[in-house]
Amino acid sequence: MNREKLEKLGLNLPLFPTTSVGSFPKPDYLAKARGEFNKGKITAQQLEDLERKATSFWIEKQEELGVDVLVDGEMYRGDMVAYFAERLPGFTNGGLVRSYGNRYYHKPMITGEVKWTDPITVAWWKYAQGLTKKPVKGMLTGAYTVMDWSFNEHYPDRKATCLALAGVIRKEVEALIAAGCKIIQIDEPALSVRPEELPIAIEAMQRTTEGLSAYFITHACYGAFEYIYPDMLKLAVDNFDLEMSNSGLDLLELFRRHPFTKDISFGVVDVHSHVLEDAGTVRQRIEQALTLLPPERVWVDPDCGLKTRTVDEALAKMRVVVEAARSCRGQAVATQPA
Ligand SMILES: [Zn+2]
């Protein structure tokens, strides 16, 4: 693990640190309140009060479960790109786009120079971090994914758009660090959609994190990693948070051919399934990871955000993650040479 960097940042994490990818399900009262807010029935302040209540619920639950690196649960977010686009000058609310059959959403549109004027996530991060002594991750969406999920009418091409966004997201990273945030996750779920553009994503991440003092994680999922591995390891982050379990750990085959050289947050439970994995299955997944990865480089978490599960399912999945990591910790310590 990039233990040296973590220690320099004052973070002493156990072997197989447990975390989660970012989103947790919104409790019923919050889902209902968001609907009422959209109809003008409650005020922004009333909605925010409930978002705080839900954030505090999830911090408390993660502490009870014994998770090592916490998230705020994204109670205030809808879409991971629109959330940022709505708060950055240069974006306008784009047209309706069809996704997943009959679901429509507003795809953000870039119509001018994108600028960062004020912190977007810092107040939520501070609120969540104020509720716990455990480290809370800062959570951002990466420049490549924001570019890929938006229309662009301003910049000459996809690369120029992506690099401009990287400069803007870097400002948010700097604001999080200035507030005291030490672990920052920059999600890039679109990383593998156009393998020929990987160099653009790499340059953008470099521009986002270079020379900044934090431990950086990137999350990618549902990707065609076989087209971008091992080159994706050039992304300027310390840790890749990857969906492993949904695909039956088949990424391990890629790691076998070319060693994985960074820290990894290894997805050990499938977030798309209601079925709760038993502790034995999760342990087995960690053990399979350890056949190729050094134990000090492995973090353990669910495959992706848990927002589509029920509150009880999400809690149960997190519980099994923490229990499996703990039992592997005991074993790893026991088998270390005297
Ligand atoms: Zn994901």
In the prediction, which pLDDT does 104 show? 74
- For residue 21, the CA-to-ligand 1 centroid distance in Å is 7
How far apart (Å, rounded) are the C-alpha atoms in residues 60 and 158?
Answer: 41
For residue range 292-314, what is the model confidence (pLDDT) as tens digits?
999 999 999 999 999 999 999 99
The answer on pLDDT for 1 being more than 60 is no
In the prediction, which pLDDT does 224 show? 87
Q: What are the φ/ψ torsions at residue 170 (nearest 5 degrees)?
A: -55, -40
For residue range 224-270, what is the model confidence (pLDDT) as tens digits?
899 999 999 999 999 999 999 988 899 999 999 999 999 999 999 99
Output the six-digit token pair for 338. 């005297």
In the prediction, which pLDDT does 316 show? 98
What does the pLDDT average to over 186-215? 97
For residue range 185-194, what is the model confidence (pLDDT) as tens digits?
999 999 999 9
- For residue 43, the CA-to-ligand 1 centroid distance in Å is 31
- For residue 93, the CA-to-ligand 1 centroid distance in Å is 24
Higher pLDDT, 115 or 336: 115
In the prediction, which pLDDT does 336 show? 54
Q: Which of 205, 318, 209, 227 is nearest to 268 (CA)?
A: 318
- For residue 241, the CA-to-ligand 1 centroid distance in Å is 9
- For residue 219, the CA-to-ligand 1 centroid distance in Å is 6
How far apart (Å, rounded) are the C-alpha atoms in residues 40 and 203?
Answer: 42
Question: Bridge partners of 323?
Answer: none
| pLDDT band at residue 219 under the 50/70/90 scheme | very high
In the prediction, which pLDDT does 333 show? 62
Q: Which of 138, 136, 125 is nearest to 69 (CA)?
A: 136
For residue range 67-120, what is the model confidence (pLDDT) as tens digits?
999 999 999 998 899 999 999 999 998 777 776 666 677 789 999 999 999 999
- For residue 145, the CA-to-ligand 1 centroid distance in Å is 12
For ligand 1, a single-atom ion, the residues with CB < 5 A are 221, 304
- What are the CA-CA distances from residue 261 to residues 136, 188, 196, 251, 308 (Å)? 25, 19, 22, 14, 31
For 258-291, give one letter per residue: b (16+ CB within 10 A) or e.
Answer: eebebbbbbbbbbbeeeebbebeebbebbeebbe
CA 55 to chain centre: 16
In the prediction, which pLDDT does 338 show? 44
In the prediction, which pLDDT does 93 show? 81
In the prediction, which pLDDT does 102 show? 63
What does the pLDDT average to over 19-25? 97
List the single range of 156-165, 232-241, 249-258, 327-336 with lowest mean pLDDT. 327-336
- For residue 186, the CA-to-ligand 1 centroid distance in Å is 11
- For residue 42, the CA-to-ligand 1 centroid distance in Å is 31
In the prediction, which pLDDT does 335 show? 59
- For residue 198, the CA-to-ligand 1 centroid distance in Å is 18
How does the average pLDDT of the chain come out, rounded?
A: 94
- For residue 271, the CA-to-ligand 1 centroid distance in Å is 9
Higher pLDDT, 273 or 334: 273
Question: Scanning the structure block, which residue is given the tokens 């609310």?
Answer: 93
For residue range 39-69, what is the model confidence (pLDDT) as tens digits?
999 999 999 999 999 999 999 999 999 999 9
- For residue 304, the CA-to-ligand 1 centroid distance in Å is 4
Q: Which amino acid is at 81?
A: V
